[in-house]
Amino acid sequence: MIAASGAAIGAPLVLAACGGTADPDDDRSEDNDPDLLNAILEQHLAVEDLTKAAGDGPLPDVTDELAAQRKDSISQLESFIADRDAEATTAAADAAEAESATEALILQLEDSIAASLDSIGDLSSPTYRQAVHRFVTEDAAAVAALRSETGGEVAPDAFVFGAPASEEEGE
């Protein structure tokens, strides 16, 4: 029984390693990667800016860790974009506004998660998708930590509700 289940589990892994599971209908294109990655980068630049502003807030350890993560992610996104012979944006997305810097950071993290979720499935490289997945989990952890202090639902809105309606309609 163990040998049979091992064979059943191992077969897809062998096929994946050999490239036998490629989807012929997969329309991901390397040509789209720079635009998708730049959309994420714009959000990370905005998060970086708001992280600095929220650094004196109720959870400086969370904002310090997030600042270090965003510094790394910005560098990685710029590298991915350069890999596609494109130019990385230097412009941050419009910053979220709220009553406090911490609340603005939470809103910006929500936008960052939504942009990442919107782009991740269209990226051509598994390496890019894995990195963006890590960015989403980092942003979600920061949202949960910040909301635990400020109140509110700890699950990021993008996880619960999906992308905001304005983004779904292409506005």
pLDDT at position 33, please? 96
3-class SS shares of the chain: helix, strand, coil, % to 5: 70, 0, 30
- 106/118 Cα distance (integer angstroms): 18
Q: Which of 157, 80, 75 is nearest to 113 (CA)?
A: 157
> 171 near 148, Cβ under 8 Å?
no
Give the pTM: 0.76
pLDDT at position 169, please? 46
Mean pLDDT score of the chain: 82
Helix (H, G, I), strand (E, B) or coil at 25: coil
Whether the pLDDT of residue 132 is over 70: the answer is: yes
The two structure tokens encoding residue 143:
């949202």
Report which residue type is found at 74: I
Question: Which run of H or E residues covers position 168?
Answer: helix 165-168
- Using 50, 70 and 90 to split pLDDT, how confident is the model at 27? confident
Report which residue type is found at 151: G
Domains and CATH numbers, the chain: 30-168 (1.20.1260.10)
